[in-house]
Structure 1
Amino acid sequence: MAAVTATTPEVDAMPDTPGGSRVSRAGAPTRVLLVEDHAMVAEALTAAFAAYPEIELVGCAHSLAEAIPATARERPDVVLLDRRLPDGDGIDAIPVLRAESPGTRVLVFTGDANSAMAARILEARGAGLLLKSGLLGSLVESIRTVAGGEIVVQPELLADALAELAGNSGAPVLTARERQVLTRVAEGKGIDHIAGELELARNTVRNHVQRILTKTGTHSKLEAVAVARRAGLIE
């Protein structure tokens, strides 16, 4: 899919809230609930996913009214959510879906996108935004990525989305080490890379990231980077 993982600055598999997102089980298929009102698209994706053993489609809903109880019942790893549904805007439903299944990641799948839409999704603690015009293999990769705790956003939308999020956040107080870690997160470096560069244990880096999220009052590394940039803590 032409829309790609925003590895800058959201990197490595890390839950977006303390104890919130579950990391996909090693070696197990990612359980996906598809929410799509167009029957032809739903049928095509259902057939296509059958060719990917790493994806287990646990259901297909055609409206928010169907998606909410299905999410509560199936507790999928990922909800692949169409934005425009007969009974509402999928983005508005993200908090409801997450309340029904806190470990579920919600990935919005839409025909068009802009930075304001991306900012709304991130603010709602969604897992990202993908366009329907991309490739199936990249869609599958993105589903697995968000199931592991990362966020997927199109690079061309990311900067403006971060700027919008930063406009709603206050200034945190970070230690020098936390700023070092966050600077490298903003550069797109993963946990292993940061650990090696700073000569720290991998779990120590993860703990620093978690403290950064707590101090900034954010729910993802993308938001934390936005807050820190606005406060002048990192470039």
Structure 2
Amino acid sequence: MPESPATGEPIRVLLVEDHDMVAEALRLALDRSPDLEVVGRSGSMAEAFKDAERYEPDVVLLDRRLPDGDGISAIAPLQEALPRARVLVLAGEATASVAARVAEAGGAGLVLKASGLEELEDAVRRVGRGEVVFSRELLGGVLDRLTGRTRGIGAALTPRERETLHLLGEGLSTAEISKRLGVAVNTTRNHIHRVLEKLGARSQLEAVTIARREGLLD
């Protein structure tokens, strides 16, 4: 039976999830296993920092989308505050670039919300044992990113997303890109969001920087 390596007791889990129904479902799912124990729940990154020190969990199950920002940005501060804890990110969707950001920040893995409860429980156990957990679909990209082999990073971009990226590289605003593409502003925002996700960028400027470095704007 997997147990907390430090205490010999069940793996202690801190949930960081702002939606009450989702948090309760996760708590019920994890608590049904005798080797897992949910010791607390935080609704934001700010609360997570306080609760991590208070509960001293073995695993922090961290939602990527939180009211006060991208959960990935909380990984390093959490690890600094509580080095023994390991962080497992929970995401609605993810690309290899996003998964690589989790790994680069010191996260122990990423599990999708679409995964079954048994898969989630297994991921928490494995992370609690010291393993790193990424799906096969994402792992190759994570390894490439961490070893500097980013060739082909733009392969996941659709033709419209590539066009959007080129227009960003020209310095056009969202409204100007919408006009150039002949689509609604909200549609353009969605294109930009997906471009940032696929390039693992935190901003439009970073996306353009990555694109120039990788030759995607040539």
Shift of residue 25, structure 1, vs aligned partner: 4.5
Tell me by how many angstroms 1:24 deviates.
5.4
The one-letter code of the counterpart of 1:98 is: Q
- 1:77-156 mapped onto 2 (5 Å cutoff): 77-156=58-137
Stretches of structure 1 that go unaligned for 5 or more consecutive residues are: 1-12, 14-21, 169-235
2:131 partner SS: coil
Alignment match, 1:204: none
Q: Identity of paired residues, percent?
A: 51
**1:23 CA drift (Å):** 3.5
1:24–1:154 distance in 2 versus 1, CA, 3 Å: farther
Amino acid at match of 1:52: S
Write the distance in 2 (CA, Å) between the matches of 1:38 and 1:118. 22
CA distance in 1: counterparts of 2:6 and 2:99, whole angstroms: 23
Find the aligned partners of 1:126 and 1:84 in 2 and give their Cα distance.
15
What residue is the counterpart of 2:192 in the other structure? none
Instruction: Please report the TM-score for the alignment, with normalisation by the length of structure 2.
Output: 0.64
Is the radius of gyration larger for structure 1 or structure 2?
2
| Kept in 2: contact 1:24–1:148 (CA 8 A) | no
Equivalent residue pairs, number: 147
Q: Deviations over 1:128-183 (max 9, x none)?
A: 00001111112111111011111000111111111111118xxxxxxxxxxxxxxx
Q: Tell me how far apart the structure 2 counterparts of residues 148 and 69 of structure 1 sit (CA, whole Å).
A: 24
> What residue in structure 2 maps to residue 215 of structure 1?
none
Q: Give the match's secondary structure for 1:153.
A: coil
Other-structure match for 1:53: 34
On the 8 A contact 1:30/1:144 being kept in 2, the answer is yes
Larger relative contact order (Cα-Cα within 8 Å, sequence gap ≥ 6): 1
Deviation, 1:50, is: 2.6
TM-score w.r.t. the length of structure 1 is: 0.60
CA distance in 2, matches of 1:75, 1:33: 8
1:163 is matched with: 144
